[in-house]
Amino acid sequence: MSLIPQSQLFNDILPAAVIIAVDGRVEEANQAALNLLEAQDLSELTGRELSDFVHPLDQPRSQARVRREGESFVNPAAKFRIRTVKGAYRMVLLSSRAFQHEGRDALMVSGLDMTDHEALDAQMRESEHNFRRLFTNMQDVYYRTDVGGMLVQVSPSVEAMLGYSAEELKGEDVRRFYTEDTDSEAYVQRILQHGRVTDFPARMRSKFGRIVDISLNSQAILDDEGKFAGIEGIFRDVSQRLEMEQELKRLATTDALTNIENRRAFLEHADHVFRSAQRYGTVVSMLMLDLDLFKTVNDEHGHIVGDQVLVRFAEQVKRELREIDLFGRLGGEEFCVLLQHTNAEQAGIVAERIRNRISQLRFFDDDGANFSVTVSIGISANQQEDRQLERLMERADRALYLAKHEGRDQTRCI
C-alpha cells in the first residue's frame, strides 16, 4: 500500500477551498477548490489570474487585497461573488494571507461556499420580517411564560386589550391578571395533563379595572430532557362575542314587547321545573292569566295603546312574583305563571293580589280618555299522577275558562 503525503491528505479532506497563487496566478488548489470552481482538474486553473474568477463588480475590492505590500499580511474574511470556469456565480466567504511558498512570495486564499447559506439567510430574514410584522400587527395576544409562570415574551397587542405595554408585563407573574385564581389553576393543570388547551375560557382584569373575557389556545414548552419549561400560546378578547351570544339568546327567549319569557322559553323552563318537582315530590302551581275583553281595548283605543296595556300588565304581575317564579307570555293577551314550592291555596293568594293590582291600574289613550282593565286567572297545582306539564296546563286552562264563564275579573282553581 502506497503512502499518501500528509500535505495531499490534508488538502483532499479539507472542506474549505484553498488556492495558492504566485504573482496573482493560480499555482495550486485542493479538491474543494476544484469543486467550488467547477473544474475537472487542476490544469483548468493553473496559470490563470485570480481576478478571472471574481465577479467584475467585486474585482476592485479583491485586487486591493491581493496587492497589499509586505511579506506577511492577513486579509480577514469577507464575502465575494466568484465566477466558476463554467460561468456560474457563487457567493463565497474568502480570507487570505501572504506567505513564502518554495522561496517565493505567495498568497494562500481560503474560501467557503455561502451560496446556499445566502439563500437560506435571505429566507430566514424574510421569515423573520414576516413574523415580526405578524407579531406586531396581530390582534390576538401571543405570550410565553417560563416554568414559574413569569412572562418572558408578550406581543404589543396586549396593550390594546389589557392596557399594559409589552415591556411592563415582562417578568410579571401572569397569574396576577386573572380575576379568579381557580381559572389560572385549572388552566395550568389542563396544560400539564394534556400538553395543550383549546378555547379555554377565563377572565382577566385590565390595567384600568375592566374585566375582559378571554379565550386561551396554548401548549406546554418542553426542554431538551422533555421536562415542562413553560407555556406559550395566544389569547383573544371574546367579551364582545359573549355579549352578542347573550343578546341573541335573550332575543330568542324573550318576548319583544313585554320583555318576559316568550312561549317557547317559558314552556321549556317550566317543563324542567315541573319534572324536577315530580321527581322530588315538591309542589308547584300554575296561574293561567288572560286580560278580559282585550279585543275591545284594541278596537276602541288602538293597538299602540293596547301594547302599552300589555307592557304595564307584565310589569305589575312581576311585582307580585319571586325570583324563583316563572313568568311568560303565551301569545296575545294570554300569560302564564309557574309558582315554585307553592300549593293551590297559596297560589290563590298570589292570584288575588295580581287581580287586585291590575284592576286598580288606569290607562289613557291619545284622546285623553281613561279606562281600566281586568284579568281572569285559572289556578292548578301539580298532582302525583301528572306525567307531563300539559296536564297541569290543561287544568289551569279549564279553571281560566270557568273564571271567564262566571263573569271575568276573578280567580278559579281546579
pLDDT in tens, 44-65: 999 999 989 998 778 878 877 7
* pLDDT score for 267: 97
Question: What is the enclosing helix (H) or strand (E) of 13?
Answer: helix 6-13
Distance set, CA 51 to CA 54, 92, 160, 252, 268 (Å)? 5, 14, 58, 82, 90
Q: Residue 11 burial (CB < 10 Å; 0-12/13-18/19+)?
A: middle
Count Cβ atoms below 10 Å from residue 44 Cβ, excluding itself: 15
* pLDDT score for 246: 86
**Amino acid identity of 350?**
V
Phi-psi category of residue 224: left, alpha or beta, with phi > 0 → left and psi -120 to 50 → alpha:
alpha
- 4-5-7-8 Cα dihedral, nearest 10 degrees: -40
Residue 4 pLDDT class (50, 70, 90 cuts): very low
Average pLDDT over residues 131-138: 69
Comparing CA positions, the residue from 270, 360, 376, 365 lying closest to residue 316 is 360
User: Taking 80 as the threshold, does the pLDDT of residue 258 lie above it?
Assistant: yes
Contact between 273 and 326 (Cβ < 8 Å): yes
pLDDT in tens, 144-153: 999 999 999 9
Q: Which of 48-57, 72-81, 292-301 has the highest mean pLDDT?
A: 292-301
Contact between 55 and 82 (Cβ < 8 Å): yes
* pLDDT score for 205: 94
74: which strand partners? 97
* DSSP H helices in 148-302: 158-162, 166-169, 181-194, 239-253, 263-280, 294-301
Choice between 188 and 120, residue whose per-residue pLDDT is larger: 188
* pLDDT score for 394: 97
* DSSP H helices in 43-137: 59-66, 115-137
Percent of the chain, pLDDT > 70? 91
User: Taking 50 as the threshold, does the pLDDT of residue 105 lie above it?
Assistant: yes
C-alpha cell belonging to residue 22: 504566485
* pLDDT score for 249: 86
Count Cβ atoms below 10 Å from residue 414 Cβ, excluding itself: 16
Residue 182 pLDDT class (50, 70, 90 cuts): confident
* pLDDT score for 290: 98
Separation between Cα atoms, residue 31 and residue 392, nearest integer Å: 99
Average pLDDT over residues 111-133: 71
- Estimate the crossing angle of helix 303-319 against helix 294-301, to 10 degrees: 140
Separation between Cα atoms, residue 169 and residue 165, nearest integer Å: 7
Phi-psi category of residue 205: left, alpha or beta, with phi > 0 → left and psi -120 to 50 → alpha:
beta
* pLDDT score for 263: 96
* pLDDT score for 60: 75
Count Cβ atoms below 10 Å from residue 93 Cβ, excluding itself: 16
Q: Which residues of 156-176 are buried (b: 16+ CB within 10 A; e: fewer)?
A: ebbbebbebebeebeeeebbe
User: Taking 80 as the threshold, does the pLDDT of residue 2 lie above it?
Assistant: no
Longest dimension (CA), the chain: 135
Question: What is the enclosing helix (H) or strand (E) of 100?
Answer: strand 89-101
Residue 70 pLDDT class (50, 70, 90 cuts): low
* pLDDT score for 251: 85
List, as one string, the DSSP characters of 103-127. TEEEEEEEEEE-HHHHHHHHHHHHH
Least confident stretch, 1-10, 101-110, 161-170, 290-299: 1-10
Mean pLDDT, rounded, of the chain: 89
Average pLDDT over residues 268-282: 96
Q: Which long-range contacts (CB under 8 A, 24 or more apart) does 43-52 make?
A: 44/85, 45/19, 45/85, 49/24, 49/25, 50/19, 50/21, 50/24, 50/25, 50/26, 50/107, 50/109, 51/24, 52/83
User: Taking 50 as the threshold, does the pLDDT of residue 3 lie above it?
Assistant: no
Q: What is the DSSP letter of 254?
A: B
Rounded to an integer, what is the distance from CA 230 to the centroid of its chain?
Answer: 19
Separation between Cα atoms, residue 368 and residue 385, nearest integer Å: 52
* pLDDT score for 62: 82
Separation between Cα atoms, residue 410 and residue 259, nearest integer Å: 26
pLDDT in tens, 207-248: 999 999 999 999 999 887 888 999 999 999 999 888 888 888
User: Taking 80 as the threshold, does the pLDDT of residue 12 lie above it?
Assistant: no
* pLDDT score for 6: 45
User: Taking 70 as the threshold, does the pLDDT of residue 162 lie above it?
Assistant: yes
